[in-house]
Amino acid sequence: MQNVPSRRALLGAAAALAASPAAAQRQFGPGAPPQRYPDPDIVAIDPQRFGAKLGNSAITRLHTGMGWAEGPAWHATGRFLIWSDIPNDECLRMVEEDWTTHRRFRSPSGYSNGNTFDREGRQIAFRHFHRDVVRYEPDGRLTVLAARGPDGPFNAPNDGVVHPEDGALWFTDPGYGGLMDYEGNRVPESAQSPRPFIKEAIYRIDAQSGQVAKVADDVVKPNGLCFSPDYRTLYVADTGRSHYPGTRSQIWAYDVNGDRLSNPRTFAEMTLDGKTGMVDGLRCDEAGNVWGAMGWVGEGYDGVHVFAPNGDRIGQIRLPEICANICFGGTRRNRLFMCASQSIYMVPVETRGAHFC
């Protein structure tokens, strides 16, 4: 039987939403007044199922001043966070020791969007400018893992995840970096249309053969993606609404069958209180909850929304900026890092990321 929250719990959550100050009015950074606990911008919509909220932790802005922050990834051995500042064509790094930022971890970065690490700790980047997927080797060499799919050159690879059992890399190609010079390199074939050069799709690179296979193109614009804790489900964000009016704003779910996907279905809709935005980056926690980077609505919506394994929205982290992508990190993988427009935010949570990156 489904765990239904009590009327008292729901009324309490609604009261907290109504009474708490908006994240847009909150001050962040040096000189800001201390945040009173519990943080009002971490909202337990369903307190019985959203147990990640801590009573004495607060959202912190660690760094700001970027053009568009994306692609956070945590390196467990090095104990550092990397992410992309796409318009400034660089990848940045922050170390756990003192949470300081070391600029130009990679510059130029090829206007990379997503980043991840493979089982050997090597950085994998999804580059808009070069329209490819690359791996940085320990000796400094650059290995191009894929520059085209079965239908031709990619539009602009966006985000990806590594399957730990076979090392295969799954990634998306929604084409945003091929539509503009600001975040990549405008593809001539797409210059007069919002439609990329080839149909947006999800791909898989086989770790042994290097073969690239298109595994699905049901999603209008596949963006962020993540596996469930048991790797049997792949969740994919659909941001088709950005260019194709009438597209449903949703997270898709697929069954993972070896090197194939099946049973495409809607996992969760992105409408909250009558307002519909878009979900970009995705991560799962150890309990199977799906955390989505949200935005393009404004105050009270933008930030991170948390969905239970059955698709119910159970929690929310409100930010004053559009959130593009997220990841769990820190030594115990219990800190949530959020790339939100011009800034990087962090909050400790009472859960852990399901995966190492």
Helix (H, G, I), strand (E, B) or coil at 13: helix
Q: Is residue 304 domain-resident?
A: yes
Give pLDDT tens digits for 147-173.
999 999 999 999 999 998 899 999 999
Is 320 a member of any domain? yes
Q: Is residue 303 part of a domain?
A: yes
Q: What are phi and psi of 305, to 5 degrees?
A: -110, 140
The mean per-residue pLDDT over the stretch 332-338 comes to 97
339: domain range? 39-348
259 in any annotated domain: yes
Domain CATH code at residue 284? 2.120.10.30
Is pLDDT at 8 greater than 50 in this prediction?
A: no
User: What average pLDDT does range 189-196 have in this prediction?
Assistant: 64
Nearest to 220 by CA among 194, 247, 245: 247
Task: Report the run of H or E that residue 283 belongs to, with start and end.
Answer: strand 278-284
Q: What was the pLDDT predicted at 24?
A: 60
Residue 20 lies in a domain: no
Residue 3 placed within a domain? no
Burial of residue 287, with CB atoms counted within 10 A of its CB: 0-12 exposed, 13-18 middle, 19 or more buried: middle
- Confidence (pLDDT) at 23: 59
Q: Out of 18-22, 60-64, 105-109, 137-141, which region has the weakest mean confidence (pLDDT)?
A: 18-22
What DSSP character marks residue 317?
E
Number of domains in the chain: 1
Q: What is the pLDDT of residue 188?
A: 77
Q: Which is more confident, 103 or 246?
A: 246
Instruction: Tell me how many degrees the CA angle 111-116-117 measures, rounded to the nearest 5.
Output: 130
Residue 32 is predicted with a pLDDT of 85
Is position 24 within any domain?
no
Residue 106, in any domain of the structure: yes
- What is the average pLDDT score of the chain? 91
